[in-house]
Structure 1
Amino acid sequence: MLDRFELLLALAKERHFGRAAESCGVTQPTLSAGLKQLEETLGVRLVERGSRFIGFTPEGERALQWARRIIGDARAMRQEIAALRKGLSGHLRIAAIPTAMPMLSELTTPFHARHGDVRFTLMSATSNEILRLLENLEADAGVTYLDNDPLGRMKTVPLYKEGYRFLTSIDAPLGDRARVTWEEIGQVPLCLLTPDMQNRRIVDRQLHAAGHNTVPMLEANSTIALLSHVRTGQWASVVAKTLADVFAFPPNIRSIPIEEPEVLHQMGLVVLDREPMTPIVTALVAEARAIAPELSNRM
């Protein structure tokens, strides 16, 4: 039964029979046969079929919720039994919004020092994507905003407050200022993250409140692309302080605090609110709680 639930989860992730089969390492006929057997066992039709994948039936959506719970519990059980035998090991997948990526080393480095047999995969994702990845068991934890969009059934650990900086050339307008306001920034051509990023929506709200409906001269869904343009000295932007602090800028680029108002948003670790948690996630939550006071004071 577990292997058939895994097939169902793969189909929910890929939304395509062929890709789902490939991700499971089976042929498409094997995947279709496994799903058909699951339907026969449950006595309902789970998948809307045609020449391609159409979607899940209402019964299929409900079965998918149970499959996530059952597979999650099975993985937790296997990890816990393995940890009893040989200590904590395995694979930890963390999804983070782009502006939080620079601080992940603050979490993974001390965790690795305690649990050297755990390997990591770090993924950049939007705040909405992080919740989807967690729900679909494609990520074990996320780092995202805690105080903006609803998080649903998640456990959270506050880590630090995200502040914002205006990046510009020292020779450009506002480049010689010690501090700038959102109203002033709204008068300068900007390059910003794309609107699907929550950071961009935060910036848009502040500029709108200051009386500006800004249309960026350049948009990017990559923070590296954004910062590399700022680095040329020909572009200005508004970025999270964590990004401004970690990126190596030439001497002619300035990172200027923004006031009136100073905007701070709570960032934190999110994991599915389920018991029992896997041993790896339990250890990660403990590590996050341990580093949070220092991180909050420093960032």
Structure 2
Amino acid sequence: MFFRQLEYMVALDRERHFLRAAQSCSVSQPALSEGIRKLEEELDVPLIHRGNKFEGLTAEGQQIVVWARRILADRDGLKEEIGAMRAGLSGRLRFGSVPTASIAVSLLTAPFCAQHPLARVQVVSDLKSEDVLRRLQNYEIDAGITYIRDSVPGEFQVAHLYMEKYVLLTAADTGTGGESATWAAAAALPLCLLDPVMQGRRRLDDVFAEVGVMPSPRVETDSVSSLFAQVTTGPWATVVPAAWLHVFGVPAGMCALPLVEPERAIPVGLVTLASEPGSVMARAMAAVSRMTDLTFLEDLPHEQAP
């Protein structure tokens, strides 16, 4: 019963609504409320601000949720560990990543699933860097791939995967010449870029601003596949990480030129919680990452290299 009470608290903190929390736990709302009331009696502290609707957790309730996530994660980790010792790794690996690292995720999940045929993988690939770390802290994911630009707090363990480098994707007859292009030259082209609210676009705007130019894209989109569809069928150029070309290729009639002045390379890494023993799923994914060389994502596909 104690674990169920902790699950109720975590669900209520996540949903901020009694009925939705109860539904997520597959119990009735009265059962959830009664479970939380009994937990309050056991701990002799109020955990929620009571009213006609959910009005938030007390300070004690917020602290209980922090401990509850940790306790529930340890419980699940113990079950996974024992299960792996008996019959091999099974269960679900929860993976989160920033959007531009989607190809890296796929290159790791394939060997992971090959090594652990009983395991399943759930991927969330539209997270911000800070969301990856937050979800790890809250035990909502087991591992994540994100940018490693600043120092990462000691509670996380980081394994470098590759450097994200940018290229200009433009019509072959644009006349840019040479084997590279400058950011200033790219800004002068008719561009299709990601939407400004997306993290990948904001990183591009930072570099453009650094060289004193600001592009005025004619078309903006919120998905990578739409971006490539636009530049494939329309008169647009774009700026993309070199890694994407290993998935989408360089469209016919276009060329990919590394961007210089300045050159930018942002480290991308696998992040897990550093606590021991940690999630058996996270350890298994970390082992796969150590055996998988992703540094080829830094370069253009060989057949498309200028």
TM-score w.r.t. the length of structure 2 is 0.88
> Which one is further off, 19-28 or 93-102?
19-28
In structure 1, the partner of 2:169 is 167
Label 1:38 to 1:187 Cα distance change in 2 as closer, same or farther (>3 A): farther
Alpha-carbon shift at residue 243 of structure 1 (Å): 1.0
In structure 1, the partner of 2:247 is 246
Query: Percentage identity across aligned positions?
Result: 41
In structure 2, the partner of 1:84 is 85
In structure 1, the partner of 2:134 is 132
In structure 2, the partner of 1:262 is 263
Deviation string 1:86-116 (CA, Å, 9 cap, x unpaired) is 1111111111111111122221122222211
Is the 8 Å Cα contact of residues 173 and 188 (structure 1) preserved in structure 2?
no
Alpha-carbon shift at residue 141 of structure 1 (Å): 0.8
Label 1:58 to 1:173 Cα distance change in 2 as closer, same or farther (>3 A): farther
> Which one is further off, 144-153 or 79-88?
144-153
User: What is the distance in 1 between the residues matched to 2:50 and 2:12?
Assistant: 12
User: What is the distance in 2 between the residues matched to 1:56 and 1:86?
Assistant: 41
In structure 2, the partner of 1:121 is 122
Deviation string 1:119-142 (CA, Å, 9 cap, x unpaired) is 111111222222232222221111
Q: What does 1:1-299 correspond to in 2, within 5 Å?
A: 1-124=2-125, 125-148=127-150, 153-172=155-174, 174=176, 178-291=179-292, 294-296=293-295, 299=298
TM-score w.r.t. the length of structure 1 is 0.89
User: What is the distance in 2 between the residues matched to 1:167 and 1:135?
Assistant: 37
User: What is the distance in 1 between the residues matched to 2:97 and 2:104?
Assistant: 10
User: What is the distance in 2 between the residues matched to 1:288 and 1:11?
Assistant: 35
Structure 1 stretches lacking a partner, 5+ long: none
Label 1:2 to 1:162 Cα distance change in 2 as closer, same or farther (>3 A): same
User: What is the distance in 1 between the residues matched to 2:153 and 2:197?
Assistant: 16
Alpha-carbon shift at residue 195 of structure 1 (Å): 4.0
User: What is the distance in 1 between the residues matched to 2:55 and 2:250?
Assistant: 49
In structure 1, the partner of 2:303 is none
Report the count of equivalent residues: 296
User: What is the distance in 2 between the residues matched to 1:234 and 1:33?
Assistant: 62
Structure 2 stretches lacking a partner, 5+ long: 299-306
User: What is the distance in 2 between the residues matched to 1:160 and 1:20?
Assistant: 40
Question: Alignment RMSD, CA only?
Answer: 2.2
User: What is the distance in 2 between the residues matched to 1:62 and 1:3?
Assistant: 17
Alpha-carbon shift at residue 146 of structure 1 (Å): 1.2
